[in-house]
Amino acid sequence: AEVAKTYAKAGAHVILVARTVGGLEEIDDAIQAEGGQATLMPLDLLKMEELDKVGPTIAERFGGLDIFVGNAGMIGTLGPLPHSKPKEWQKVMDVNVNANYRMICTIDPLLRASSAGRAIFVTSGIGNKVQPAYWGSYAVSKAALSAMAMTYAAETAKTNLRVNMVSPGPVDTAMLNEAFPGKLPDGTKKPEEIMDAFLELAATECDKHGTVMDLD
């Protein structure tokens, strides 16, 4: 939500994707209050076949796409790896990895056609840590997302497209509060405090490619 509001304030027409219309309308109201523009696209990322229609729909409606931010994610139930329930494990993989894969497939032609296409994925340092922290499915999914983004970057090195990642560290979001109801002892960052990274990676003059902006 904060990324969308920040981009809209910078002059972008943003396309908001989320499951609930109410949540989308709340962000849209905030964007319009600042004089920005947004289009709402209610969509459940777990409905993979619906994701395949995103690229053609954007092409028909807007004629192109310059920036994609893959930020949706879920933690799943924290606990030992052997105790993970297969259905929930699959759900975490689908939201954190497979949905991003399907989005890459459907919007890749639009990003490559842009004079300054940008793909930005939100990863986590947890994906680089092998430790008994009970974040099994989340850690594995973020490691997979990072590998996928790096592969996509390598494959687009000779194009105008720039593919990068942001590893924001602990940010005060509903998802983090779900995992740590008592708050983290070292504190968290507010979403607005990390927006410079998203603005930098979306800028037409950005020359970073295949990098991770680690804000932790």
Which residues are identified as catalytic?
138
**H-run or E-run covering 107:** helix 99-113
**Interatomic CA distance for residues 3 and 5, integer angstroms:** 5
124-163 in b/e form (b: 16+ CB < 10 A) is bbbbeeeeeeebbbbbbbbbbbbebbbebbeebeeeebbb
Closest CA to 109 of 36, 56, 30: 56
Q: What is the DSSP letter of 46?
A: T
Amino acid making up residue 187: G
| Gap between the Cα atoms of 204 and 206, Å rounded | 6
The kind and range of the H/E element at 78 are none
- Extract the tokens encoding 186: 């070292």
Which strand (E) or helix (H) includes residue 156?
none
Phi, psi of 84 (to 5 degrees): -65, 140
Q: Count the Cβ atoms, other than its own, within 10 Å of residue 77.
A: 15
